[in-house]
Amino acid sequence: MPTFDPSQFDLSIDVDGNWRHQDEIVTHPRILAMLYNGLKKSGPQHIVCAEGLCLPVRVADCPYVVLSVRHEAEGVTLLLTDGAHETLDPTTLTIDAHHVPRAKVKHGAFDVRFSRTAWMQLAEAVKEDGQGGYVLHVAGRDVPLSVG
């Protein structure tokens, strides 16, 4: 009986949020759904679990990417790479040292980075606070942004 070698699966998520198997982009919708549904964190590592089997996943930056942003009266809705729509928790929004916006999704379990398009859409609601900082105007209030 052949032995199982998990390295044969070589799963990764690139900086743009594309799942890859041995450097080939995974495009099949049901396989992508299975990968996202099985994605978990184990300490600082990411793994994908299905059918009782767990495999490591190399993540280049964040496991999820915001593809687009929709401003609504009750908040900001994010479209993620897994096809889910989530309401942004503005208290988790930060701008890193490379000027890339990041936040938490999936009930705070995962980091997400914003695509350039999504950042431009989100920036429509960002304004200076008059003290050298920035705020995100969302749901009728201003939320300070952490930059750096």
Buried/exposed code over 60-74 (b: 16+ C-beta within 10 A; e: otherwise): ebbbbbbbbbeeeee
Q: Domain 6-59, what fold?
A: duf1285 like fold (3.10.540)
Within the chain, which residue ranges are assigned CATH 3.10.540.10? 6-59
Q: How do residues 26-82 score in pLDDT, each as one tens digit? A: 999 999 999 999 999 988 899 999 888 899 999 999 999 999 999 999 999 999 999
Please state the φ and ψ torsions of residue 125, each to the nearest 5 degrees. -105, 10
pTM over 0.85: yes
Residue appearing with tokens 């995974």: 26
**Spatial CA neighbour of 84 closest among 60, 58, 101, 65:** 65
Count CB atoms within 10 A of the CB of residue 3.
4
pLDDT in tens, 10-29: 899 999 999 999 989 999 99
> Residue 148 above 90 pLDDT?
no
Residue linked to tokens 């914003």 = 114
Note the pLDDT of residue 3.
61
Neighbours of 18 (CB within 10 A): 16
